[in-house]
Amino acid sequence: MTDTEIGKEPFMDTYEDPGYARPDARVDVAIFSVRDAALKVLLIKRRVGPFKGQWALPGGTIHIEEDTDLESAAKRRLKALTGVASPYLEQLRTYGSRDRDPRRWSLTVGYYALVPSETLSLQAAEEAEDARWYTIDGDTVSVPLAFDHAQILSNAVTRLRSKVEYSPVAVHLLPEQFTLAELQRTYELILGETLDKSPFRRQVKATGLVEPVKGRMRQGAGRPAQLYRFAKRYDALFFPRSLARAHRPV
Amino acid sequence: MTDTEIGKEPFMDTYEDPGYARPDARVDVAIFSVRDAALKVLLIKRRVGPFKGQWALPGGTIHIEEDTDLESAAKRRLKALTGVASPYLEQLRTYGSRDRDPRRWSLTVGYYALVPSETLSLQAAEEAEDARWYTIDGDTVSVPLAFDHAQILSNAVTRLRSKVEYSPVAVHLLPEQFTLAELQRTYELILGETLDKSPFRRQVKATGLVEPVKGRMRQGAGRPAQLYRFAKRYDALFFPRSLARAHRPV
DNA sequence: GTAATAGTGTCTATCAGACACTATTCA
DNA sequence: TGAATAGTGTCTGATAGACACTATTAC
């Protein structure tokens, strides 16, 4: 008990440096989108430092003057890259160790983001930074990633797949208006398996997350499909997890 | 696009300070246990600094010389307080902003831990630090907490309740050997509702996480109960989430 | 008409929840 | 014997998954 925060931390009410060495603190974001009928993630080619020339998740150091909180640090980077100001952004977990960056003790807060397929055009940053969309295959991509980014990406894909199973979170990958068939196809791309139409529609409608738009769309062929849009705030909208009810009395 | 990590970060292969201000980096842990037929969390009374005299979750600054990774920082603090070397420890999420600590930009990685009720005796630290177990009521405790610890605690309770619904994680709150009735009572304390015996046993046995120990125990009254113990590693042992199967073809 | 896709109706096997029942101890 | 707790059996309502069916467009 010699090393508690209370024992070592000097009292101070100013912003002076407290005098101990801190880890490097960053955020890194797995930005997902659907392109060319595949789930893709946006990667950046590193031009300096360790892992130079390798692909990595976009991210950056937390700027204590500029960023008010962690999420704003992630959003700043995301907006600069994709132009999307308010994407679906969810914190994954934090990775920190002595070894993950060969230079020093480093910590990164991992996020994943879902960007609608209609806003896919990358900013000017694309050329400048050599940014590319890579197809998700299994829980990884076809190129090796810098640092522990393969681990972060794998966790992001797992989380997305898991979330998609009990919530209609995939609407964030679609344009503002979409058909239920498009929503289902997005689910199938994420999960990597086909779904039956009838129970899918039953579930989606039961959540109330989407609502029909009066107006129709047509495809290349077939009956026109009803367009839907995001109805409510995402919060608290879940498929009922029947497993969650496993022990719960009515 | 002037503030990317690549643009600003100087190249270096040493551990020298890169020259920009970093946030304070900490871990804080909500340590849960069951005592006196209630779910409790261990709190520490702050003796210095902001929120002096208020209760807070135990935690500490990440020591880059001493801690190999985030988890070891959390375990170090946990072991010092409770004497438990390998508890169930799970990362919650990270809280970071300009405002959460009045002194400076601060970031804390939140964890929650489950400590078996048989190892409840606090270390010498208890008196030294004024540590106490507080009963969880709803998703909080009866005293105001320092910093944003009420938020962290609330998230920890929510996560624990959620996890308990699809996994037998509560075994980590029980002693090495326990009866199914004790396991069920633990569930009921966590969830705050009563459960039916029959489906509970069906589910728990179906997971295979617990296995009977040949030997019996008796209570103050009634038929002796079979003792069980933790059978397998926690990994990948979940109740089947039937909601997860909602769209999934067999 | 056919092709193509959207959308609905319905059957069935499964199972969570309810609850009654049996089993085994102590006093 | 009764009280108390452990543990099992079984019925039922709900529903996920399967799949057939109808609807509406273009050609």
- The pLDDT tens digits for A96-113 are 999 999 999 999 999 999
A91 part of contact set with chain B, CB < 8 Å: yes
Residue A153, SS3 per DSSP: helix
Closest-CA distance, B220 to chain A, in angstroms, reads: 27
When comparing pLDDT for B201 and B48, which is higher? B201
Of B5, B69, B199, the CB nearest to A61: B5
Q: Give me the phi and psi of A170, to 5 degrees please.
A: -65, -15
Q: Which of A103, A199, A243 is the closest to B13 by Cβ?
A: A103
- Ramachandran category for residue A75: left, alpha or beta (phi over 0 → left; psi -120 to 50 → alpha): alpha
Nearest residue to A206 via CA among A179, A241, A172, A173: A241
On average, the pLDDT of chain B sits at: 81
Query: Which nucleotide C1' is nearest A219 CA?
Result: C5
In the numeric block, which tokens belong to residue A124? Answer: 């000017």
CA distance A178 to A40: 19
Q: Is the CB of B197 under 7 A from strand C?
A: yes
Is the Cβ–Cβ distance between B50 and A13 less than 8 Å?
yes
d(CA A82, CA B65): 38
How many C-beta neighbours within 10 Å does residue B163 have? 17
Cα separation values, B169 from A216, B36, B59, B110, B173, Å: 48, 20, 23, 18, 8
Segment B83-93 mean pLDDT: 87
pLDDT value at residue B205: 87
Report yes or no: A51 at the B interface, CB cutoff 8 Å. Answer: no
Q: Kindly state whether A234 is in contact with chain B, defined as any CB-CB distance less than 8 angstroms.
A: no
User: Looking at strand C, which nucleotides approach a protein CB closer than 7 A?
Assistant: 3-10, 15-20, 23-26
H or E stretch covering A215: strand A210-217
- B250 pLDDT more than 80: no
Q: Given A25, A61, A104, which is nearest B107 (Cβ)?
A: A25
3-state DSSP of A85-145: CCCEEEEEEEEEECCCCCCCCEEEEEEEEECCHHHCCCCCHHHHHCEEEEECECCECCCCE
Q: Which two tokens stand for residue B160?
A: 């624990």
| Through-space separation of residue A222 CA and nucleotide D26 C1' in angstroms | 7
Q: What is the pLDDT of residue B12?
A: 37
Helix axes A180-191 and A197-207, enclosed angle (nearest 10): 110
Predicted pLDDT of residue B13: 35
Average pLDDT over residues B1-21: 44
Indicate the pTM of the whole model.
Answer: 0.86
**Burial (CB count <10 Å: 0-12, 13-18, 19+), residue A182:** buried
Q: Does B208 touch chain A (CB under 8 A)?
A: no
CA of A40 to C1' of C16 (A): 38
Decide: CB of A219 under 7 A of nucleic strand C. yes
Classify B53 as helix, strand or coil: coil
* A15 contacts chain B (CB < 8 A): yes
- Residue stretches of chain A with pLDDT short of 70: 1-19, 118-129, 232-250
pLDDT single digits (tens) A8-50: 343 333 334 456 789 999 999 999 999 888 999 999 999 888 9
Q: Report the percentage of chain A scoring pLDDT > 90.
A: 54
Q: What is the pLDDT of residue B47?
A: 85
User: Angle at CA B33, nearest 5°, toward B32 and B39?
Assistant: 90
CA angle A14, B24, A89 (to 5 degrees): 120
* Residues on chain A touching B101 (C-beta within 8 angstroms): none
The span from the CA of B229 to the CA of B104, in Å, is 47
Whether A192 and chain B come into contact, CB under 8 Å, resolves to no
pLDDT (0 to 100) of residue B87: 82
The 3-state DSSP class for residue B65 equals: coil
Q: How far is B97 from chain A (nearest CA, A)?
A: 4
Q: Are B194 and B188 in contact (CB under 8 A)?
A: yes
